[in-house]
Amino acid sequence: MVHGPEPRSLLRAEAASSGIEAARPLGGLAGMAGLVPYLRCAPLVNPATPLDFLWLNDRHTGTDTTSKGHETLLAVHVETRKPDGRCSVDVELADPAERCHLNRRELQVLTLIACGLSNPEISLRLEVARRTVATHIERLLAKLDLPTRAAAAAVALDRGLITLPIPGGTTEGLAPVGAVVLEQEVRRLAGPDRPGRALPRPGAGRRLRRLVVGGIYAANQEWTEDGRQMLQGAQLAIAELNLRGGVAGRLLEHRPTFADITSPASVKGSPRFQCNK
């Protein structure tokens, strides 16, 4: 079911969790075909948790553009409704105040910080000088009124400021936090032929395997908010550890699952629980 556009709303639709084929674009979404695969994958990534991210369409990223060729920032919210499992999708023009008046490049830098990348790695992805990256970080910290990169990463995840698509042509080496997981899933389903340039990452051949951290969270309706807060807390903690280089040089990967916490059978039947037996 598709509803008419509100003042800033471009798309508001409900569809089955397997995709949004039934939803038709409204207003400014027309011509922004690059967003469609993300909306189709969003309910499949983590159906128990609402997903918020920013979508950047502009001439700089090689994705979609508006008719005038200017950058367009969209705020995207995807939520799976219970008990029927249908998905609610809301896309609207991003309010500058809600994104803390960060510009396109600052949002991309903030996203890569949340992904656990260092300044040299960010400069490779954005193809800019390290000094330029440092300047962007200084400015975004000032706009967010925050003292550290770790705090900025936490705010990015908490406020849905992760910006897609992620620049650089690959998700290799990125911490799977927030909407980054969605980007990884879209690229996985697209296969190896998806357009994108691999980055010359130093020491890539000696990369250590990630440490996988499993988590079981409440799926009960009466505990949904508690489960969401616990999940978010774990994501923020892992993001901060990854910003510091992980554990013994190995990045952490968070793999959440959901269960009825009042049922021992449900908890023991969780894939994460079984992996640790």
From first to last of its 277 residues, the chain has per-residue pLDDT tens of: 333 334 345 555 554 444 444 344 444 444 466 787 887 777 777 666 788 899 987 444 444 444 344 456 889 888 876 566 667 888 888 888 888 899 999 999 999 999 889 999 999 999 999 999 999 999 999 999 999 999 999 999 889 999 999 888 788 888 887 788 888 888 887 765 444 444 444 444 445 677 888 888 887 777 777 777 887 778 777 776 776 667 766 778 888 888 787 888 877 776 654 444 4
Of 60, 93, 126, the position where a domain reaches its end is 93
Q: How many domains does the chain have?
A: 3
45 is in which domain, residue-wise? 9-93
- 140 and 153 share one domain: yes
Distance of CA 234 to the CA centre of its chain: 15
User: Would 88 be classed as within a structural domain?
Assistant: yes
- 144 and 82 share one domain: no
pLDDT at 35: 82
- 42 and 85 share one domain: yes
- 163 and 218 share one domain: no
pLDDT at 195: 43
Q: What is the DSSP string of 90-106?
A: EEEEPPTTTTTT--HHH
* H or E element, residue 135: helix 130-144
User: Would 251 be classed as within a structural domain?
Assistant: yes
User: Would 70 be classed as within a structural domain?
Assistant: yes
- 50 and 82 share one domain: yes
| Amino acid identity, position 243 | L
* H or E element, residue 37: helix 36-45
- 199 and 217 share one domain: no
- 114 and 174 share one domain: yes
Residue 116, judged by CB atoms within 10 A of its CB (0-12, 13-18, 19+), counts as buried
pLDDT at 59: 43
User: Would 1 be classed as within a structural domain?
Assistant: no
- 153 and 214 share one domain: no
- 108 and 200 share one domain: yes
Write the Ramachandran bin of 248: left for phi over 0, alpha for psi from -120 to 50, otherwise beta.
Answer: left
Q: Is the dihedral of CA 99, 194, 13, 69 positive or negative?
A: positive
- 63 and 86 share one domain: yes
Claim: this prediction has a pTM higher than 0.75: no
User: Would 4 be classed as within a structural domain?
Assistant: no
What tokens does 13 get? 């639709």
User: Would 140 be classed as within a structural domain?
Assistant: yes
Of 177, 204, 231, the position where a domain reaches its end is 204
User: Would 163 be classed as within a structural domain?
Assistant: yes
User: Would 261 be classed as within a structural domain?
Assistant: yes
- 153 and 198 share one domain: yes
- 71 and 122 share one domain: no
Of 93, 128, 161, the position where a domain reaches its end is 93
Vertex 200 angle, CA 197 and 204, to 5°? 120
